Each structure stands twice: as C-alpha cells, then as structure tokens.
Amino acid sequence: MSRLLLITGCKQVLTLRGDVPRRGAALRDPGIIQDAALLARDGRIIAVGPKRRVARLSEARQARKLDLGGRVVLPGLVDSHTHLIFPASRAAEYEQRIEGATYQEIARKGGGILSTVRKLRAAKPAALKSRALAALRAFAAHGTTTLEAKSGYGLTLDAELATLRLLHELHQEQPLDIHATFLGAHVVPPEFRGRADAYVEFLVERLIPEAALAGLAEFCDVFCDRGAFTVRQARRILGAARACGLVPRIHAEQLARTGAARLAVEVEAASADHLEKVSRGDIRALAESSVVATLLPGCCFHLGLSHYAPARALIDAGVVVALATDYNPGTSPTVSLPMVMSLACAQMRMTPAEAIAASTINAAFSLRRHLYVGSIEVGKYADLAVFAVEDYREIPYYFGVNHCVMTLKRGEVIHSRPEA
Ligand code: NIG
Ligand code: FE
C-alpha cells in the first residue's frame, strides 16, 4: 500500500522550482503559489499547485489529510556547513573575546579549535552522540531537514574515523539526512606542532585514503587561512581527496585574503565558505564557475565583527550564493537558519527571497543533492518547513524568534509544536 498525504491550508508555498542553482535575478523569485496544496506518495511529492486543482486529483481522495490552517511552507532548509560533533561549548572564550581578546589570539595560546580537540579526544562516545542528537532535534525544530557535517576535532586517524562513523550512525538513526565531510585539515594537531608539512603528508598518505575507503565521507574540506593551512598545502590535500573520490570544499578568505577562493575555482570545489575577505577578482572568478559561495554571517555576528561577506557584490556578479549556520563552538554556536537569514538580510542586504533561495536550493546544489531536496516540486522529497507567519518575509523579519511550527522529512512529521 502506498502512503498518500494531502497537505492543505498553505497560505503560501515557496516552491523554489527549477532544480538548478540560482544566480543573480533568479535568486529573487521564490516561485510562490498562494492557497496551495501538496500531494505526496511514499515521501515524494507527486503534485503541488493551487488547492482547487490538487484536491481534485483522484489520489487526493484516498490520502491522509493534513490541514496547516493557513501557514507559509518552505522547502525543508538545507544547512550546508556545520561542525555537528563537538564535546562542549566555549563560552569562557566567548567572555574573553568580549573583554578584548581576539579569536586568533585565543587560538595561538592553545585555546580555540585545539581546546575542542583536547576535549573531544577525552570525551565519551555516548556523550558526543547524545549532544549531537539534541542538536539535530534543534536543527529540525528550526526547519532544517538536510545538513552537511564535518569532522575536524579529532585529528588522529582513530578520532577522525570515530567522528565520521558517528555521523554515519546518526544519519541512519534519526530522520535528518547528514552528508559527511572530512576536515582533517582543520588545524595542525599538537603532535605535529611546527611540522605542518609532515601533517599534510599524513593526511594525504593515511587519513584521506582511509576515510574515503571506509565510505564515510562525501567531501573533503580544508581550513585554508592565516594560522591554518596555506594555499599550497590545501591544493595538495584537495588533490589527494579528489583522487580518492572526495569532492573538495574550502574554508576560504575568512581571516585574511590568501587566494583560497581562487583555489576553490581551480579544483572545482563544491563550495568556498566564509569569503569575508574576497577581492573583486575573486568574485569575478567565482562568478564564472559553479563553486557555491557559502556565506556564514553567524560567525561575524558571534565574533562581534562589523565586516560581513560582500553578499551583494557576489550576487550581482552572478555567483551562486548559499547561506549556512557554520554550527560550531568557536565562531557560530547556532542551529537556526532563520536567524542566519535575518543576519543575511540586515547585515548583508540580501532580500528575504534571496536568503531563502540561498538556504534551500543553492545549499542543496553545494551538497550535490539538488535533484532530491531544496525545492518543492514533483519527484522531490516531501521535505517541508512550515512557519506560523502571514508572509514569507516575516521569517527573517522576526529575528530571534522561532516561527517554525512543523517540519516534515520525506512526508513524515518530525517536529511539531503549537503556535508561539
Ligand atoms: O568555520 N574556521 C574554522 N572552523 C570554524 C571554527 C571552528 C572553531 O572555532 O571551533 C569556522 O569558523
Ligand atoms: Fe566552519
């Protein structure tokens, strides 16, 4: 017996239809259907359109009915950059930064990423897992149905593989889809202090082949920045990753302009992330490529920085722009893509429609999942985020308030709460 579901009471459905990444003016058209209905069979969308048309279909009569009572429906949000697995917050560093220390100063003194590495290595696997599960429930409660998650707080063969295995387990055991990225090149671990090139060799010879062979990662990321890995090292790491079947992603141009965005274009990375410090030439190079510029305004907000990535210049040049939370304990401890949209609108002058396209179809494209998720159209998963607002623009407008009242993954309700 097939499972049929008819969803009515959609004041607005933002379809984001088209299956393709959106650039330039196309980012502004969310493909709205007013007073819409949606029909799904076995978790896939089989019809979406005005209610009177969809409700007349023969399948609609036999379907289970879900009346949303006049809500705004978005494709399930796609968070294409998270560091899901970490052992504890770094709230003490947050306070130090407020009192004047910079992120880089804290890192140079052994805090920052390395302090999370020490704690993760000592953590109990069950504690890491329950922390991640709680975070995943919170992601779902904010409308996210698909996410990318990176390793990178283990930095030994065993600890990195354990993180990737945990991601695989979580993918199997709870409803959100998790796409794993190997980030062994996050920082140079203490065992290799002062021997960055030796660590790069270890990554290339051991860690990357093992992670790829185990089938535990789809992507390989490098933190290519001042104080992390150089462009030369990143090129070598991503070349090895590509040879093992892992698709490159790069943390690029966050702290300093290093040339990492150009490297992303050169190695045909799926995504270049951060980009606060990109140059005009970098923007032109990105615009001629299909590298997704993944902007992470939660970082600038949390670090108290006033300079955000130049979203307008990127969009106007025709770059494929996505938004993500960068959920991590150091620079962006948030699970909320709606909050990230608010920041994108207020601080980077993206319109609400652009911010939504960037958090759905374009993010899905950066994960190579755009034929399955990221828009509401026939054939795709019935992954939906339902908001208790009158108009989609109110989603970023009401910042810091979660108006997501229901989330569906492949046609199943995975989060539901009474209206705020
Ligand atoms: O995306 N830049 C590197 N990685 C993270 C920060 C991780 C941390 O501070 O723990 C980021 O900002
Ligand atoms: Fe990150």
Per-residue pLDDT tens digits for 344-359 = 999 999 999 999 999 9
User: pLDDT digit string (tens) for 161-196?
Assistant: 999 999 999 999 999 999 999 999 999 999 999 999
Give alpha helix (H) positions in 179-318: 196-202, 208-213, 231-243, 260-266, 280-287, 297-303, 311-317
113 lines ligand 1 (CB under 6 A): yes
The C-alpha atoms of residue 306 and residue 106 are separated, in whole angstroms, by 19
- The chain-wide mean pLDDT, for the chain, equals 97
C-beta of residue 67 within 8 angstroms of C-beta of residue 8: yes
The string of pLDDT tens digits covering residues 235-264 is: 999 999 999 999 999 999 999 999 999 999
Helix (H/G/I), strand (E/B), else coil: 20: coil
Pocket test for ligand 1, best of 328, 332, 334, 340 (most atoms within 8 A of CB): 328
Q: How do residues 73-130 score in pLDDT, each as one tens digit?
A: 999 999 999 999 999 999 999 999 999 999 989 998 889 999 999 999 999 999 999 9
CA angle 28, 33, 39 (to 5 degrees): 125
Whole-number pLDDT of residue 110: 85
Q: Which residue's CA lies nearest to atom 9 of ligand 1?
A: 330
CB 150 within 8 A of CB 181: yes
- Ligand 2 centre from 182 Cα, in Å? 12
The residues near 394 (Cβ < 8 Å, ≥ 6 apart) are 72, 387, 403
Which ligand is the nearest neighbour of the Cα of 119?
1
* Residues whose CB is less than 8 angstroms from the CB of residue 73 and which lie 6 or more positions away in sequence, other chains included: 7, 10, 12, 13, 14, 36, 38, 376, 384, 385, 386, 387
Q: Tens of pLDDT along 353-384?
A: 999 999 999 999 999 999 999 999 999 999 99
Residue 146 pairs in a beta bridge with 78, 177
C-alpha 9 to ligand 1 mean position (Å): 41
Pairing of strands 64-75, 384-387: antiparallel
Ligand nearest to the CA of 229: 1
Q: Cβ(8)–Cβ(68) under 8 Å?
A: yes
pTM above 0.95, yes or no: yes
Rounded to the nearest angstrom, the distance between the alpha carbon of 28 and the centre of ligand 1 is 30
The pLDDT assigned to 238 comes to 98
Share of the chain above pLDDT 70, in %: 100
331 lines ligand 1 (CB under 6 A): yes
- Within the chain, what is the greatest distance between any pair of CA atoms? 69
pLDDT of 385 reads: 98
Q: Best substitution site from 84, 93, 103, 113 to test ligand 1's pocket, by max atoms within 8 Å of Cβ?
A: 113
397 or 227, higher pLDDT: 397
Of the chain, the percentage scoring pLDDT greater than 90 comes to 96
Q: What are the CA-CA distances from residue 348 to residues 276, 288, 315, 341 (Å)?
A: 11, 22, 11, 10
- Classify the C-alpha dihedral 409-415-418-419 as positive or negative: negative
Task: Inform me whether the pLDDT recorded for 412 exceeds 60.
Answer: yes
Q: What is the pLDDT of residue 420?
A: 53
Using alpha carbons, list the distances in angstroms from residue 307 to 231, 274, 348: 23, 12, 9
Q: Indicate whether 219 pLDDT > 60.
A: yes
Between the two ends of the chain, the Cα-to-Cα distance in Å is 37
Give the residue, by CA position, lying nearest to ligand 1 atom 3.
223
pLDDT score, position 163:
98
- The pLDDT of residue 2: 84
pLDDT bin (cut points 50, 70, 90) of residue 20 is confident
